[in-house]
Amino acid sequence: MSDTGTLFMPPAGSTLSSEVDSLFYFILYTAIVIFILVMGAIAFFMLKYRRKGARELTDGRDHNLKLEILWTVIPTLLVFVVFIWGFRTYIKMHVAPANAQEIKVTAQKWFWSFDYQNGYNSVNELVVPLGKPVKLLMSSQDVIHSFFVPDFRVKMDVLPNRYTQAWFEATQPGEFNIFCTEYCGKGHSEMLGKVTVLPQEEYATWIEKASADFPEGMALNEIGAKLYQSKACFTCHSVDGTISVGPSFKGVFGKTERLSDGSQNTVDENYIRESILNPQAKIVQGFQPVMPTYQGTLKDKEIDALIAYIKSLKE
C-alpha cells in the first residue's frame, strides 16, 4: 500500500494494517461482484420476460432445485470464509505478543494521558519505538471514550472502572493521529493526540531524556505556555477571554471569583494549585465540576510553570 493510502483506507502504519485491509477489500470486492451479478440478472430477466403482446400463462414449475442449492451454498461458503478470516484477525489484534512494551493509557475529558514504565508521563503524545510491539492498557477516569489510530487499524473502547487492551507494532517512523470515536461531551472533537514513532536508537535516547527537568534558559512562564498545550489545558480554558468549559485564563490572576456555594475567592497561587490538584474543591459559579485532577500527572515544577504562565496573562 502506498504512503498516501487508498480511496477507502488511510496509509498502513502497523503490522496489523495489511491483514485488516485484506479482509476489508475481500468483502468489498465480493459484495461488488455479487451486486453486479444480481443487478445484471434482474436487468436481463426484465428485458427477456417483459410483456410483448397478449397475456401468456407459464407452466406450473414452482422452484429450481439446482438454483436454490447454488444460491444457498455459495453465500454460506462466503460467510464461513469471512467468519474464519475475521476471527483469526480479531484474535491476533487482541492478543499482544509476550515481549510487548506496556504503556498505560488514561482517557478523561478531554485528553489522553500516557504513563511509561520509567515513570514518565505525557499528554496527547504517545511515543513508541519502530518495529517493536506496544501493548496499551487503557482505562477512563470519567465516561466512555474510544482510542482510535486509523493508520494502525487500532480501535478500542476505553471504559471507566475497568481495563481494556490493544496493541500494535509500527512499521514506519513518523506521526500518526489519535482520535476519540465515542462521543464524550462538549470537548469530544478536540480530544486529539498523536503517536510519534521513532527508530529504536532515537527512542532509546528519547526515553532517557523524557523525565529530565525543564530546558535550560527557558523562562518559567514559557515552559507553562508549552504545558498549556501539551497537557491539553486549551480544551477547556482559553487565553483570549473566550468562555469555554472552564473560565478563561486571560486576566484571571488576582481576580475575585464567585464560587458555586456563594462564597468568594481571590485567584492567587494557592487557589490555582488547589484547582489543579483538587479541582472539585472550589467551583466557579456558572461552571460544571467536570475538570479532572492532575494529581500524579504534573510535577511541582510543572505546576509552578503553569502558575507563572497564568500570571503572565494578566490584563
User: To the nearest whole number, what is the mean pLDDT of the chain?
Assistant: 87
Mean of pLDDT values over 52-58 = 72
Please indicate, yes or no, whether residues 203 and 105 belong to a single structural domain of this protein: yes
33 pLDDT tier (thresholds 50, 70, 90)? very high
d(CA 303, CA 299): 6
Which single residue is written with the C-alpha cell 475567592?
265
**For residue 273, which amino acid is it?**
R
Instruction: Give a yes or no: residue 150 inside a domain.
Output: yes
pLDDT in tens, 147-203: 999 999 999 999 988 888 999 999 999 999 999 999 998 889 989 999 999 999 999
pLDDT digits (tens, 9 = 90+) for 230-283: 888 888 898 888 888 889 999 888 889 899 888 998 888 888 888 998 888 889
Spatial distance between the Cα atoms of 205 and 310, rounded to a whole number of angstroms: 32
Residue 49 inside a domain? The answer is no
C-alpha cell at 44: 436481463
Q: Which residue has the higher pLDDT, 9 or 29?
A: 29
Q: Kindly report whether the peptide bond that precedes residue 206 is cis, defined as omega within 30 degrees of 0.
A: no
Residue 251 sits in a domain whose CATH number is: 1.10.760.10
Q: Which of 105-109, 255-259, 296-300 has the lowest mean pLDDT?
A: 296-300
Specify the pLDDT at position 67: 85
Same domain, 123 and 198: yes
- Residue 214 falls within a domain, yes or no? no
CATH number, domain with residue 163: 2.60.40.420
Residues 235 and 192 placed together within one structural domain of the fold:
no
Residue 57 lies in a domain: no
Which pLDDT score is estimated for 308?
Answer: 86
Say yes or no to pLDDT of 2 above 90: no
Question: Total domain count for the chain?
Answer: 3
Both 182 and 264 in one domain: the answer is no
Q: Is the pLDDT of residue 224 over 70?
A: yes
DSSP state of 222: H
52 part of a folded domain? no
- Lowest-confidence pick of 73-82, 116-125, 275-284: 116-125
Q: How high is the pLDDT of residue 182?
A: 93
Burial class of 128 by CB neighbour count within 10 A (0 to 12, 13 to 18, 19+): buried
Q: 205 and 105, same structural domain?
A: yes
Q: What is the dihedral of CA 217, 210, 169, 150, to 10 degrees?
A: -50
d(Cα 234, Cα 186) in Å, to the nearest integer? 13
Mean pLDDT within 284-311: 85
| Residue-range definition of the domain harbouring residue 133 | 101-209
Are 160 and 258 within one domain? Answer: no
Is residue 81 one of the residues assigned to a domain?
yes
Same domain, yes or no, for 79 and 119? no
- Judge whether 187 lies within some domain: yes
Beta strands in 69-210, from DSSP E residues, in sequence order: 101-108, 111-115, 121-123, 125-129, 133-140, 145-149, 154-158, 164-169, 174-180, 193-198
| 229 and 204 both lie in a single domain | no
In a domain, 224, yes or no: yes
Please tell me whether residues 165 and 150 are part of one structural domain: yes
Whether residue 207 is predicted with pLDDT greater than 90 in this model: the reply is no
Same domain, 69 and 38: yes
Q: Give the end of a domain, one of 149, 180, 209.
A: 209
160 - beta bridge partners?
Answer: 140
